Structures are given as C-alpha cells and as structure tokens.
Amino acid sequence: MKLVLLAFLLECAVTIWAGTECEPQSRPWVVHFSSGCSGALINEQWVLTVMDCYVTPQVTVAYLGKNNLNVEENSEQRIFVDVGIVHDPYMRKRRRRSPLHNIQMVRLATPAKLNSYVQPVSLSTRCPLPEDDCVVSGWETRQQSSMQCVVQPIPDKRACQFEMFGPPDEFCTEYVHNITGSHLAEGSPMTCGGYLQGLVSWGQWCLETYEVEKSYSCVCHYHDWIDKVMRSHVSTTTAAPRTDTTRFVAV
C-alpha cells in the first residue's frame, strides 16, 4: 500500500516555483503571532487562523503591519491576544493528519489601527476553483525574516491525493518545489483574486522530489460560523486586560 501511495504521489507531483519575497506592505492583512504561526485580519479586532495556531490570552502577541520579523518597523502594531475561539467539533473529532474544522477566530485585546500598512482582507463569496490565481503569504518556519509570497495553483479536487482521506472542509494545492525544507507557518492565508480563501493547515512531503503539497482550511465553508462568533463575542472593553488565561473556548 505504501509503495502504491508513493507512486501516486510522484505521478501527481507538479513542480512550480517556490516563494519569493512579497513586495513590502503588499499584504496588510497578514498577521504574525509570537507563538510562530500566522493568520488573516478580517476586521479591526478579529484574526482568522487555524486551531493548531497556539495562542494564550495576554501572553501571545499579534504583530500587524510587519514585513521583516528580524527588525522593528515603523509600520508594525503589537497587540495582545484576548481570546481564541475554535470550532467545537474539531476538539471532539480531531484525527491525526485529517482534522475536522481546523479553524480558529482570535480576538485582539484592542482594535488595530487601520492604515495603509494594516488592513483587513475580504472573505470570498464562493469556494476556490482550479482556474483561480492564488497566493499564499507568510513567514517561513525555519528562516523567519521577510514575508514570502508563494503562487499556488489549485488542481481539480479529484486529481489530488488529499481527496483520498481529507474532510470536505479542506482543499489541497499542487506540489511546490521546496529544496530548503522550510515552509510557510500554519495559518498563513491564501488569497485568490484579493479574497481570503484558505489558511495553511498542514503539509505533506514527497521525499524523492523535495516537494510539498499543502492542505488548507477552506474559509468559504465558515462564513456563518465566523458571523456567529463575532456576534456572540463582542468585546465589552478595549482597555482592561483579561485575567482568564484559558487558551481557547469552543463554539
């Protein structure tokens, strides 16, 4: 079975160019968390990421308006995380390598100041299609410096091996040649035509060709849940810090 699967991976692999440095401040919605993961700003106080992005209230810091993580930039804003809210079934039905509802809403302790360096991204009104032009942006897990942009073609779902064992709330992309072994952090947002479509969930290596296929939490399935979370978790204050350090709650 393993040999058959490996043969399928090699046959399915499509080599495309890997990441390049994003034009500075061209992705004003990308958020970096001090815990090492990323997310997408969807309004002045909410960030969308994956459940596997570990945040702790009043400990984890969200960095907005960043380009290079190794230097302090005039454009950056640093805001503590107030609370992380995950999709409830994910906690009960989590399965190795195939999580259900791997998505999380993170509320910032104070609203971000929107400007040319910090702007929310719009949610797409439909799910991604194979002909969409999509770009994933974020920072590499091994060499965290300047923000990277990676073009990611979306194949027909039937042509992707992720379809063999993946849940319907995720989608995959074609293999990207990655000789360094580093990859964009979990929660890095994918935009297609300027709209948020996915968040990096996990990756799968093809060892023989040094290529990696990415799986993404599909944002288009969660519009109602996102609206519900924002309605039911309205911040009552923007000044007093939380004393509850529970990492997240489930909705």
How does residue 174 score in pLDDT terms, banded at 50, 70 and 90? very low
**What are the chain's domains?**
13-21+122-220 (2.40.10.10), 30-120+223-235 (2.40.10.10)
234, two tokens: 């309205």
pLDDT given at position 80: 98
Q: Which residues pair with 85 in a beta bridge?
A: 105, 249
- What pLDDT is attached to residue 131? 79
Give the pLDDT of residue 6.
31
pLDDT reported for residue 150: 86
pLDDT for position 219: 86
Q: Which stretches of 65-186 are assigned E, i.e. beta strand?
A: 77-86, 104-108, 122-123, 134-138, 148-151, 170-172, 176-177
Per-residue model confidence as pLDDT tens digits over 99-149: 467 889 999 999 999 999 999 999 988 888 877 888 999 998 666 589 999
Distance (Å, rounded) from C-alpha 172 to C-alpha 152? 10
What's the Rg (C-alpha) of the chain?
Answer: 18
Q: What is the per-residue pLDDT across 78-113, written as a single tens digit (0 to 9) for each?
A: 999 999 998 875 554 444 444 467 889 999 999 999
Task: Select the more confidently predicted residue: 183 or 68.
Answer: 68
Q: 181 or 55, which is more confident? A: 55
Comparing CA positions, the residue from 211, 212, 194, 195 lying closest to residue 203 is 212
- Does this model's pTM top 0.85? My answer is no
Average pLDDT on 159-176 reads: 44
User: What is the per-residue burial (b if ≥16 Cβ within 10 Å, else e) of 61-80?
Assistant: bbbbbbbebeeeeeebbebb
Q: pLDDT, tens digit, for every residue of 2-32?
A: 333 332 222 333 333 456 889 988 999 999 9
Query: Please, are residues 205 and 103 in contact by the beta-carbon 8 Å criterion?
Result: no
First and final C-alpha spacing in the chain: 38
- 208 or 13, higher pLDDT: 208
Residue 164 reports pLDDT greater than 80:
no
